[in-house]
Amino acid sequence: MSPKSEKKVPPGQEPIRAILRWGIDHHGISNEIPRISPEKWALTVEGQVENPFKLNWKEFLELPHVESSNDFHCVEGWSVLDCHWKGVLFKTIAERAEPKKGSDYVNFECSDEYTTSLEMADLMGEETMLAYQLNGKPLAPELGGPVRLIVPSKYAYKSPMWVTKIVIASWKLLGFWELRGYNDRAEAWKNMRFDRRLRQ
Ligand SMILES: Nc1nc2c(c(=O)[nH]1)N[C@H]1C(S)=C(S)[C@@H](COP(=O)(O)O)O[C@H]1N2
Ligand SMILES: [Mo]
């Protein structure tokens, strides 16, 4: 066995060879893939912050970028190993916005009207980024391009595709899947899949 196939995956996960879903049926809202040309895309960052801002594609690419490789876990049980992402650290975005005291939550809005939210503290990692390239290529619309969030330690419903707005605040709205019974912490290595209070 090669070292790669011995790589550990979180409990209940099976490695698959590629991100296979290609926009089919994971869309909470609709099966239509938003095809946003980068020139038309913009990112709004607002909420309880000192410095709300909006960036177009060119301005976004001027931010410092990072690259890292990690695994991608969908709560339905498949994992894609060794994805190599390039993007802008979420930390870079948050620092620029200057959250006010107590703005400990981050709400994401997407072109397909999908939503999810996270605690600011969970977004400060060195692998948590707004990604615009996967394995050396621009991120395809089917995989959330031009820009999606990547939070590798959490199930992928915490990695919103087609991100267009980030609201930093002292409150957090439950996201699309979280409202439908999926765990709001979504820690893949801790097998936090469901929220028993919401799934009876
Ligand atoms: N905007 C948006 N982001 C989303 C979703 C969605 O429906 N809309 N689905 C989530 C889920 S459940 C998964 S598994 C991944 C799928 O990402 P992929 O298409 O790159 O495999 O995107 C997540 N982010
Ligand atoms: Mo998923």
pLDDT in tens, 40-88: 999 999 999 999 999 999 999 999 999 999 999 999 899 999 999 999 9
Strand partners, 149: 130
| The two structure tokens encoding residue 184 | 């709001």
For residue 75, the CA-to-ligand 2 centroid distance in Å is 5
Ligand at minimal distance from the CA of 31 is 1
| Whole-number pLDDT of residue 18 | 72
Backbone angles phi, psi at 92, to 5 degrees: -60, -40
Fold of 9-28+41-199: Sulfite Oxidase; Chain A, domain 2 (3.90.420)
DSSP strands (E only) in 57-140? 66-73, 78-89, 105-110, 115-119, 129-134, 137-138
Which residues fall inside 5 Å of ion ligand 2, going by CB?
Answer: 74, 156
How many angstroms separate the CA atoms of 146 and 53, rounded? 19
Name the more confident of 22 and 91. Answer: 91
Q: Which residues surround ligand 1 with Cβ inside 6 Å?
A: 19, 21, 26-28, 74, 110, 112, 114, 143-144, 156-157, 159-162
Looking at residue 104, the DSSP 8-state letter turns out to be: -
197 pLDDT higher than 80: no
Query: Which helix (H) or strand (E) covers residue 58, if one does?
Result: helix 57-61
Minimum CA distance residue for ligand 1 atom 17: 143
For residue 76, the CA-to-ligand 2 centroid distance in Å is 6
> 58: Cβ–Cβ under 8 A, 6 or more apart, which residues?
none
Percent of the chain with pLDDT over 70: 90
Minimum CA distance residue for ligand 1 atom 23: 157
168, 95 Cβ separation under 8 angstroms: no
188, 170 Cβ separation under 8 angstroms: no
| Whole-number pLDDT of residue 196 | 73
SS3 185: coil
Ligand at minimal distance from the CA of 80 is 1
Strand pairing class (163-169; 42-47)? parallel
How many angstroms separate the CA atoms of 94 and 75, rounded? 27
Minimum CA distance residue for ligand 1 atom 7: 27
Report how far apart the first and last C-alpha atoms of the chain are (Å, whole number).
42
103 pLDDT higher than 90: yes
| Whole-number pLDDT of residue 21 | 58
Query: Which helix (H) or strand (E) covers residue 163, if one does?
Result: strand 163-169
The pTM assigned to this predicted structure is 0.94
Site to probe by mutation for ligand 1, drawn from 32, 157, 179 as the one with most ligand atoms within 8 Å of Cβ, is 157
| Whole-number pLDDT of residue 6 | 74
Strand partners, 73: 79
Q: Where are the domains of the chain?
A: 9-28+41-199
